[in-house]
Structure 1
Amino acid sequence: MPGDSKLTRESLAAVTLCYASCSLGKPTDPLPDRLSHLSSAGFSQIELSFPDLQAYASVLENRDVGDKEWDVLARAAEGVKALLDERRLRCFILQPFGQFEGWPEGSDERKDAWERVEGWIKIAKAVGTDTLQVGSSDVETIEWDRDVVVKDLRELCDRLAKDDLKLSYENWCWSTHAPTWKAAWEIVRDVDRDNMTINLDTFQTAGSEWADPTQPSGLVNAASDDERDKRFQGSLDELSETVPADKIGFLQLSDAYKVDPPLEDKTVDGLRPRGRWSHDYRPLPYSGGYLPVEQVTKAVLKTGWRGVMSVEVFDSGPDGKGKEDVRLEDYARDAAASVQRLLDACADDDL
């Protein structure tokens, strides 16, 4: 059974505020400035995005740094840690590590996945984090065998454990084998390693079961709105009742714009529709989206979990073409305010 599920303001005050570095500005925006804005806005931790690290390394080296120059990237990660220390921030997690599980034994793809593991371990230790985020793979060409997925992730956990590192596994809603919270949770449960948790996400949860960017309505097909909502609430109730609080690594927050016209139901540039939706159409909560963010957040909090709540948005505007004149300092403050508004909305007790 879950822990204390009463959503009092006192208990919700224990939530730690985090922000994904990739969600404030662009990799070309100076990382020190972005980190200063996040610290000033009240965030205490960050998710460090690999592209941001690579961009920062390129600035330090005065050249384009490749994504497998592990020693150079690790030195840059040490520099990022110094920036964080100066701003009283901490790197909570390194992300996003994808397309790991399911590759055939002896394949070049599997060798590449394990090479990346070793490189990311070196970076994680240099920047001072103890956790890697792994997204459920979206490779369409693999014949998925669930036993293989579990075996691969178990091996990854065991390798990470040798360096006292952890893994938090996220259901990407466009994944080929684990698009829902339940599919990802059952994998985490069956991997059965102390250093593996599930990474829940308001966008990924609602975006896999309640919303669909390829439909004019923006919603998954259902006999009626009531049937859809009851089905989704039933899924959230199951989450609250079955996922132990101590197996939730963190909760990521974002909303989504309803895409008009809808996205084509096909893979474009290697991304399925929900992947493209995720890449460009994810604003802050209360900023023009339509997903039931409060509903998902309450379900997670009802497990008794009170951990790291992290903003991860990719806001290119309702048309996905980008926004102009975004002041990063203001955006960071708006993000902190949106999280507080969300927590207030989730609280059971009155002010």
Structure 2
Amino acid sequence: MSLEYTTLHSIPISYASCSLGNPLNPPPLLDRLDAISKAGFLAIELSFSDILYFGSSHLGYEPDPKNYDELCTVAAEINKQCRKRNLGIMMLQPFSNFEGWPNGTDGRKDAFERAKGWIRIMQAAGTDMLQVGSSDTPLEKLDRGKIVPDLRELADMLKEHGFKLAYENWCWSTHAPNWLDVWNIVKEADRPNAGLCLDTFQSAGGEWADPTTSSGLLEDVTKDQVDKRFQESLNSLSNTISKDKIYLLQISDAYRVPFPFTKDRDSSGLCPRGRWSHAFRPLPYNGGYLPVEDVVKAVLKTGFHSWFSYEVFDGGASGDGKDTDIIAYAQTAKNAQSRIIASAASISS
């Protein structure tokens, strides 16, 4: 199989605005939007944290995360600022720990209250897609029989407004850490507006790499076996997922951590791969070690030609945070896209 460069070059590109600049001390949102627009991106992923962050300056006080009237006012202003810069808002993210709460629990009540509020925010922001990350709530707190019905219900709620649900495997999820897990859930949910958000970090970081080992790789088998097993998984992805069920592909790499993480959750409840995700994710070709190109090629082999979205949390190789020239960084991301596309155009089988 071969892919034409001219076809791949037309793939639309987005940037997760929350991930531009120092993840521990992000620059003002409007500065980030300027940089993303100047680099030639067409849209952003708008994060809930950006709404709260921008809301503090726009409203003059920090908005209540559950005051959806205020949050909608802020989201509408962000939409206005994006349109001034010729940027769309491709998706609202990250909607987390939604699915699987048992009936009658506070977790379930909160999940569906948030869903209703976030749909209102989507309307104000002018976006039609909601990213849902596979839950990392401890399994003993979940009713796994509720996972598919919950996502089906959320998809139906979104459909009333012409919206879509993009379900993503977070590699630290307790019930669906791999692409096949979320694909099986989406298939079973069987809703026309429910699809996948795939991610180079989540796939390679879960099935190939491991921040708790000295090598930075999975060590349950030999290195050759790790590589072979991962390639088999990618081949299966290419031959299994329907291209129209992939809504976007998020792009980032990962640094090897300076010392192996412990396998336990940290004081905030994050698993090791979750900690890794928050500050050790550079752009491709900028110091990481994941097989990013392999994941991209596998996704493109499905026939998918829609959104590539850059979501990096680059705290430097130490993860302690680093200040960057965000205009130059956004342009580097655009250059990485060109390099990835050039590599993908050489696919043959």
Q: Same fold (TM over 0.5)?
A: yes
**2:83 counterpart of 1:81:** no
Asked if the contact 2:18/2:26 (under 8 Å) is kept, the reply is no
Seen in structure 2, the aligned counterparts of structure 1 residues 56 and 223 have a Cα distance that, compared at 3 Å, is: closer
Separation in 2, partners of 1:208, 1:288 = 19
> 1:123-162 alignment to 2 at 5 Å?
123-162=121-160
Aligned to 1:118: 116
For 1:92, the aligned partner's letter is: M
Asked if the contact 2:172/2:273 (under 8 Å) is kept, the reply is yes
**2:6 counterpart of 1:18:** no
Asked if the contact 1:213/1:263 (under 8 Å) is kept, the reply is yes
Asked if the contact 1:252/1:309 (under 8 Å) is kept, the reply is yes
| Counterpart secondary structure, 2:328 | helix
Separation in 1, partners of 2:290, 2:121 = 35
For 2:235, the aligned partner's letter is: D
Asked if the contact 2:101/2:143 (under 8 Å) is kept, the reply is no
Aligned to 1:293: 292
The 10-residue stretch of structure 1 (149-158 or 134-143) with the greater mean CA deviation from structure 2: 134-143
Seen in structure 2, the aligned counterparts of structure 1 residues 299 and 66 have a Cα distance that, compared at 3 Å, is: same
Asked if the contact 1:216/1:260 (under 8 Å) is kept, the reply is no
Which of residues 329, 332, 335 in structure 1 aligns to 2:330? 332
Q: For 1:95-126, what per-residue CA distance to the aligned partner results, in whole angstroms no more than 9, with x for missing partners?
A: 00000001011111111111111110111011
Q: RMSD of the alignment, in Å? A: 1.4
For 1:224, the aligned partner's letter is: T
| Counterpart secondary structure, 2:6 | helix
Q: Alignment length, in residue pairs?
A: 345
For 1:68, the aligned partner's letter is: K
Identity of aligned residues (%): 50
Asked if the contact 1:256/1:290 (under 8 Å) is kept, the reply is yes
Asked if the contact 1:95/1:133 (under 8 Å) is kept, the reply is yes
For 1:201, the aligned partner's letter is: D
Separation in 2, partners of 1:339, 1:197 = 23
**TM superposition score normalised by structure 1:** 0.96
Q: For 1:5-28, what per-residue CA distance to the aligned partner results, in whole angstroms no more than 9, with x for missing partners?
A: 632202202210100011112575
Separation in 1, partners of 2:290, 2:18 = 21
Asked if the contact 1:153/1:191 (under 8 Å) is kept, the reply is yes
Q: How far 1:142 moved relative to its partner?
A: 3.5
Aligned to 2:232: 234
Aligned to 2:344: 346
Unaligned runs of 5+ in 2: none
> 1:271-290 alignment to 2 at 5 Å?
271-290=270-289
Separation in 2, partners of 1:343, 1:310 = 13
Which of residues 2, 5, 20 in structure 2 aligns to 1:6? 2
| Counterpart secondary structure, 1:142 | helix
Aligned to 1:245: 243
Which of residues 43, 46, 52 in structure 2 aligns to 1:45? 43
For 1:210, the aligned partner's letter is: W
